[in-house]
Amino acid sequence: MKRIVISPSIVDKRNHRHGVGEVEVRQCFNNRTGRLLTDTREKHRTDPPTQWFIALTNKARLPKICFVPDGDIDIRTAYEPNDVELEIYRRHGCPHDF
């Protein structure tokens, strides 16, 4: 299994700005049932491409998890998705309604 890597700056950003902790990020990976989507926006392009998904935490939160699969899983950010992101994921990534 690939290792989830979270840099100290991302930990600080997630905890203080977005309120999504490392435990919740790991829970989302464990609880994911939908597909991974690729962020194709020009300003977010990376090599390899940034992927994202929305999944439930064990306490029924629905954070959006963005990461780059580069050998390990390099977490870029995690935050509460907006309505547009939820709709995109419901349409293209999720096999069921969450």
Q: What are the residue ranges spanned by the domains of the chain?
A: 4-92
- Strands 37-38 vs 51-54: parallel, antiparallel or unpaired: antiparallel
Q: What is the pLDDT of residue 62?
A: 94
> What DSSP element (H or E) covers 76?
strand 72-79
pTM: 0.85
Q: What is the mean pLDDT of each run of 10 residues along the chain (98 residues)?
A: 76 66 92 92 83 96 93 91 94 79
Q: What is the pLDDT of residue 16?
A: 60
